[in-house]
Amino acid sequence: MEFENRSLSLQKNEETVNSSDTSEEKKEEREHWSGQLNFFLSSVGYAVGIGNICRFPYLCYKNGGGAFLIPYLIFMVIGAVPIYYLEYGISQFSSSSILTVWKICPLLKGVGYGALIVSGIFCVYINIFLTWILYFLYQSMTPILPWSHCKNEWNTKFCHNNSVDNGSNLILLQNTSDVNGSKYNSHLFPLNEVKMTASEEFWKYNVLQITVGIEDIGGIRLELLVCLAIAWFIIFLCLCKGIKSSGKIVYVTVTFPYIVLVIFLVRAVSLPGAAEGIKFFLIPKWHKMLSTKVWGEAATQIFFSSGAGWGALLTFASFNKFHHKLQRDAIMVPIINSGTSIFAGFVTFSILGFMAHEKGMSVDDVVTQGPGLAFVAYPEAVSKLPISPLWAVLFFLMLMTIAIDTQFGTFETITSAIIDEYPHILRKRKYLVTVCFCCIGFILDLPFITEGGIYVLQIVDWYCGLFTPMIVATLECLVVGWIYGTDRFYKDIQMMIGYQPCWWWKVCWKCVTPCFLMMMLMFNMLQLKPVSFDKYQYPSWAIGFGWIIGMMSVAPIPLYIIKTLWCANGTILQKFTNSLKPKMDWGPL
């Protein structure tokens, strides 16, 4: 009751002086979005990633076509939307990012550190996608696309522009594993066994110049080094002033991909074979609904695609004004994210249908995902269109804006968390903090742009977000649902938006959503296999390195619990009970 009265007085009297010096500084200086649309577009831009275009269509096709949409949309309703509402709510109420928001339950502040670490790792390697995209964009600005023919210096005698011998599919980048919707080539097939398309050879022998395994890391690719420097410079320019700069840029970076997707769809559906491709995407295979794997993959896809549990949603909402109508955004952003995935599926399979028609093959034989789609199949398809360089530039500009939007949320999560922990020192030095983290990110990215860098990238991608985002989201639900209490949280939301949510959200936060998350966590554990690149098997030391990366973001949770209980006063029971209570400076500023 004391806490509720304190919060109410803070709401009614904006001139009240907080007892905490840190809270007073945050009140005076913490940024806010210049408009509600800035927050909404930033959230959409972060949620809609390359996986919406390069992974979801393949999963939908593989897991029952239109039938896959049923579990996918169910899990959106009971999983993604409630987590969005919860993360938006606690962060907007307290104006806190991923570390300071855990004043709600100090015992579990290690959850915030776990989310910070996993976001930091993701922030580093996701910029490699932007690096590849910039390289392809540069190579697209020629009268003849370099991956459209076999007359380049990197091409082998096995290069060809037509169908693969004996009806083989795009073997190079198909049927590999991922985290966050990214697939990678894993093996150098003996060239006397398979011929490769010009786009495949461009990807392998020009872009990556890939080695035979992680044991042979090779040298740094100088062209990619330049693109990497440009990528980090772009991120710096966009974020050096925080949300004041990124909030304006998202008007372009978020809307542009939809314009390009519409243009591609209009062009793609008019191509021969497009209708056949769309049939492969949509025709339901109802028997697949009986497979637990289909339901598990639907749950995993909606969770990782939404971006919940990574910290960006908390960070974005912390910049909202106190009375922002968050419920509307919490519902609309996941819906737009899922709708984008479905819409992109029509574009993708229209193009794959066209490719199959051009090669005289079945759509089955050209279906691929991840970089196999973004950097092999799509470039090959646009190379067959009239004025192909124009279509290539449009496509890679679209991917570039999508990658930048994802990096906005991830990078801001890291900088805001650190600045909020040390506001007296860092809040007025946002520019310097951004410079430092961009330089650190550039240095840490260097192993990924070596000739064997993609092998390193696969390890990091495979293990980075293995469990942590799901654990973070589960503990958020348990804290709000059972420790802090949904009744208290309902009153907090009422203070912000003027009314209490309906009973549905309480049921989700206390029971339905935590069960969904734990089910998904168990599914991922059961499906877990050692990292691989198709037929290439990693040495044991590399797998061990991957597990270290995966556990780096989980370890802070138990370690911080031990540290909190060790440093607290009283009996064990008193220490435990007191550390579950919100801190005195938890609440609205």
Element (H, E) at 533: strand 532-533
Confirm whether residue 155 is marked as ligand binding: no
What is the C-alpha separation between 94 and 13, in angstroms, rounded? 16
Contact assessment for residue 185 and residue 173, using Cβ atoms and an 8 Å cutoff:
yes
- d(CA 254, CA 274) in angstroms, rounded, equals 27
Spatial distance between the Cα atoms of 305 and 409, rounded to a whole number of angstroms = 14
Is residue 264 within 8 Å of 42, Cβ to Cβ?
A: no
45 is in an annotated binding site: yes
**Would the CA dihedral through 171, 123, 223, 384 be positive or negative?**
positive
DSSP state, residue 554? T
**Burial code of 165-193, b = ≥16 C-beta within 10 A, e = fewer?**
eeeeebbbbbebbbbbbbbbbbbbeeeee
Choose among 431, 584, 560, 461: nearest CA to 118: 461
Is 48 annotated to bind ligand?
yes
Q: Do 17 and 576 contact (CB within 8 A), yes or no?
A: no
- Strand locations in 120-200 (E): 159-160, 196-197
Helical residues (DSSP H) of 319-370, grouped into ranges = 326-359
Separation CA 468–CA 113 (nearest Å): 11
Cβ pair 299, 79 in contact under 8 A: yes
Answer for the pair 75, 299: CB distance below 8 angstroms, yes or no: yes
Taking only Cα atoms into account, the Rg of the chain, rounded to an integer number of angstroms, comes to: 24
Q: Is 291 annotated to bind ligand?
A: no
Q: Are 135 and 148 in contact (CB under 8 A)?
A: no
d(CA 135, CA 115): 31
Whose structure tokens read 């939301």? 493
Angle at Cα 15 formed by Cα 14 and Cα 21, nearest 5°?
105
What is the spatial distance between Cα 413 and Cα 442, in angstroms, rounded to a whole number? 18
**47 annotated among ligand-binding-site residues:** yes
Alpha-carbon span 410 to 412, nearest angstrom? 6
With CA atoms as reference, report the closest residue to 324 among 501, 104, 498, 80: 498
Please give the Cα distance from 546 to 434 (Å, whole number).
28
551: tokens are: 């556990």
Alpha-carbon distances of 306 from 85, 125, 338, 395, 409, rounded to whole Å = 12, 19, 8, 23, 12
From the number of C-beta atoms within 10 Å of its C-beta (0-12, 13-18, 19+), residue 219 rates as exposed
Consult the annotation and say whether 52 binds a ligand: yes
Helices and strands, counts by H and E, the chain: 29, 4
Residues in the chain: 589
Q: Which residues are annotated as a binding site?
A: 45, 47-48, 52, 305, 337, 405
Q: Which residues are annotated as a binding site for Na(+)?
A: 45, 47-48, 52, 305, 337, 405
